[in-house]
Amino acid sequence: MKRLLITLSCALGALTASAQSTPPDDALYQALGGTPGLTKLMDDFVPRLTADPRIAEFFKETKLSELKKQLVDQFCVVSGGSCIYEGETMKNSHAEMKIRKSDFNALVEVLQQSMDQQGIPFTVQNRLLARLAPMHRDIVNTR
């Protein structure tokens, strides 16, 4: 929980626009192992999501192979890789799901468990979570 609070507080300034002439910074993507590393992470993360009693209900009607592919692409883009995310916006895909802050926090905890299991260093985890954290504004839609 402490890691979550640190990560979310760091996220406020985490996303900055790059100058168009500056090549994308893919250091985080590389630190996560590129697409193979992200795929391995999602191989661990997606089953944990469906097994966690706090959030499993959100995934019972989800085609898990498609979810995994979308997450790999999304995390690739967020971390600076050259992938293309073609899924729905976070706001559209979660609009009817009645997601609370506690649900979002549970998902983050599960992601942290998966990153720990994969041996992703704490500093790399925090960098990724800081880039993902602003999505909560589009995902959390219920008090």
Closest to 7 in 3D by CA, of 136, 141, 99, 128? 128
* 80-138 tens-digit pLDDT: 999 888 877 666 667 666 788 888 889 999 999 999 999 999 999 999 999 988 887 76
C-alpha distances (whole Å) from 112 to each of 7, 21, 71, 88, 135 are 11, 34, 15, 24, 16
In the block, residue with structure tokens 């883009």: 77
Quote the pLDDT of residue 15.
39
pLDDT at residue 4, rounded to an integer: 44
More confident residue, 11 or 133: 133
- As a whole number of angstroms, the distance between CA 23 and CA 36 comes to 22
Separation of alpha carbons 80 and 11, rounded Å:
16
The CATH-assigned architecture of domain 27-139 is: Orthogonal Bundle (1.10)
For tokens 């704490």, what's the residue? 122
In the chain, count H helices and then E strands: 8, 0
- The pLDDT of 42-68, averaged and rounded, is 93
62 Ramachandran zone, left/alpha/beta (phi>0; psi -120 to 50): beta
Compute the average pLDDT of residues 43-50: 96
pLDDT of the residue at 87: 75
16-42 confidence digits (pLDDT tens)? 333 343 456 899 999 999 999 999 999
Between residues 135 and 11, the one the model is more confident about: 135
pLDDT number for residue 32: 97
